[in-house]
Chains A and B, each alone.
Chain A
Amino acid sequence: MIIVPPPFPNLTPFIPELIVLSVAMVLLLLEIWVKNRVFIAGICILTGFAVIYCLNMSIGITFNGMFINDIYSVLFKIIFMVCLILTVLISLNYIDREKPIRGEYYSLLLFATAGMMLMASAKDLMVLYLGLELMALSTYILAGIKTLNIKSNEAAIKYFMLGAFSSAFLLFGISMLYGLTATTDIYLIAERLKDTERSLPLILSMIMIVVAFSFKIAAAPFHMWSPDVYEGAPTSVTAFLSVGPKAAGFAVIGRVFYIAFEGIQPDWTTAFIIISVITMAIGNIVALAQTNIKRMLAYSSIAHAGYILIGIVTSTYESLQAVINYLMIYTFMNIGAFAIVILLDKGEEIQDYNGLSKHRPLVAAIMLLFMFSLVGIPPTAGFIAKFNLFVSAIHGGQIWLVVIAVIFSAVSAFYYLRVVMNMYMKDPLVEEHQIHLSPSLGFAIFITVVMVMVLGLFPSLII
């Protein structure tokens, strides 16, 4: 018997992932010899730019139709790269401050990013699941990387347990879908489901997949892990977690539900409407009671997931665009807010911000900008993001959902502006607010401030 070797897969669409994965593996070795963190961080940032440069040149389908790099995934990968670059910038100084953080930190960040990229590019549910696990495993380790800190340990364990739980749901949903269609290819599933009637197993698999992805984007009632994880994880990791995996979760939601479950759109729309309303309610209301700013930002990110779900529910071309814009702007403003938390020597509790404007007027002003942007007050980018999203939802006919979202946005103003009030109207509790300014952190804050301002004033740049 003559064995014909299979043709070598076309690697061109896979180049961005190849870059990230190979750099991550090289860094694992390099960290033993190179003690200079700036060099390693520099490589990570260069990787990010290299990937952005390659993305448009590598559009196509490869690996027997398992992997697709199209405009949709390119846009998400740009968000991931921005997230990676900003996280590396804010980590650099912070990692040295928090001594017990290990050298593998940067390669784990890259591996997590590679997982997110695979998720955004998955054309097959197997690739999607494995990309999700790659991302999840790396982020579990990142959450627990402060091995001597008990809260960090708790964060890692919680994240791991609930992440494994959600993976089980996802696998169960995928297996039922496989049983119905005998394929894991997302596009082929859509084709085959077209002439399958709407049956109970189909709905069950849809619900399972909704639950699994809701865990990943931290939508209520599957949000329980996120405040503890966000609080316990090192702040730079929290910044990464609140943006990257969330964007990746939305990327797969878009791909799986818009394409594979196209036939049962009314059913998953209903599911997501319920989740969206609960998420906005829980995220915004529970955030009011928080005294720790990382927990508050965790609940705020839950609330933002609720807003973004409105765009998913509307499911028009315009609303999908608004979702991607929102995620892009959210990346800048959220990482910016976390950068300020890192900048301050003691900045984890909300009362640490009391009277910040008296000692550090510039820092207070920047924090004010990010808080305004997170509420959605013009002329910041957060306003543009929310405005776009809500307008697209109204065009798509989800008027009630928008009304609810606007009400909860008003509620959210209370807890964001409380930080502002503490900074400007209360007397400082400490003699002096210590800050740790380093060139990289300053640069990260500069980029985020500029982007939040520029995108707020000239929204036509990305829309």
Chain B
Amino acid sequence: MTTVEYFFIYFAVSMVFLSLLIITVKNPVHSILLMLVLFFHIAGLYLFLNAEFLAAVQVILYAGAILVLFLFVIMMLNLKEELVSHRFIGEWPVGVAIGLSISLFCIFAISHFQIKYEGNMTIEIIKTLTNTKALGKILYTEFLLPFEIASIILLIAIVGAIVLAKKEQS
């Protein structure tokens, strides 16, 4: 095995363990902090794929912005109640069984994967252009319509938050 593979195995294994810890630890604050570590690991994985832009966005947006929001939400919860309440509902073994069987099926299916076609953006092009530039180019030309729809979805999210959370005037 090469060094890259060792690194990948480290990232993959620790991501799986971190995800498991996030949903099992009792204290929500610990959950969030573990999530922060997880997001850094994901960013590391993106770096291995030469996707430095995605890695930066992952750190800035997820680790920076979204986690802070999560923490704000947790500050409003009653932590003492959360600590004594059960983390899982009674039927969790069913969920685990279904999840495991689906993932086993997926792993089996993916091992039959054959790569036949290549996209327009080969690794050579991305290496010469740099990832950020390639992404920007494609986003504002070929993927212009999805990009604009995504902006409208964000608008709806803002409107929805206001509609659902605003107090009645009366």
Contacts and interface: CB of A to CB of B under 8 A. Distances in A.
Interface stretch (A139-147, A264-272, A372-380): A139-147
A140 B166 CA distance: 16
B149 A181 contact: no
A288 interface: no
Contacts of B153: 130, 133-134, 137
Nearest to A197: B114
Given A6-B140, A204-B109, A181 B117 contact: yes
28 contacts: A6-B141, A9-B144, A25-B155, A64-B144, A66-B143, A102-B166, A104-B163, A107-B159, A130-B146, A130-B153, A133-B153, A134-B153, A134-B156, A137-B157, A141-B156, A141-B163, A141-B164, A144-B164, A147-B168, A180-B113, A180-B117, A181-B116, A182-B117, A183-B119, A192-B117, A201-B112, A203-B109, A204-B105
Contacts of B146: 66, 124, 126-127, 130
A58 interface: no
A145 B166 CA distance: 11
Interface string B128-170: 0000000000001111111001101101110110111010100
Contacts of A9: 144-145
A21 B152 contact: yes
A263 interface: no
B160 to A, nearest CB: 4
Interface residues of B, number: 34
Interface of A: 6, 9, 21, 25, 28, 63-64, 66-67, 100, 102, 104, 107-108, 111, 114, 118, 124, 126-127, 130-131, 133-134, 137-138, 140-141, 144-145, 147-148, 156, 176, 179-183, 192, 196, 199-201, 203-204
Contacts of A138: 156, 160
B106 interface: yes
B145 A108 contact: no
B146 to A, nearest CB: 4
Contacts of B142: 64, 66
A133 B115 CA distance: 29
A318 B147 CA distance: 36
B145 A141 contact: no
Nearest to B105: A204
Contacts of A100: 168
A179 B115 contact: yes
Nearest to A7: B141
A180 B118 CA distance: 10
Interface in B4-42: none
B97 interface: no
B27 to A, nearest CB: 24
Given A134-B156, A204-B105, 16 more contacts: A25-B155, A63-B144, A67-B145, A108-B160, A126-B146, A127-B146, A133-B153, A138-B156, A141-B160, A141-B163, A141-B164, A145-B164, A182-B119, A200-B109, A201-B109, A201-B113
Nearest to B121: A182
A371 B157 CA distance: 38
Nearest to B115: A179
Contacts of A200: 108-109, 112
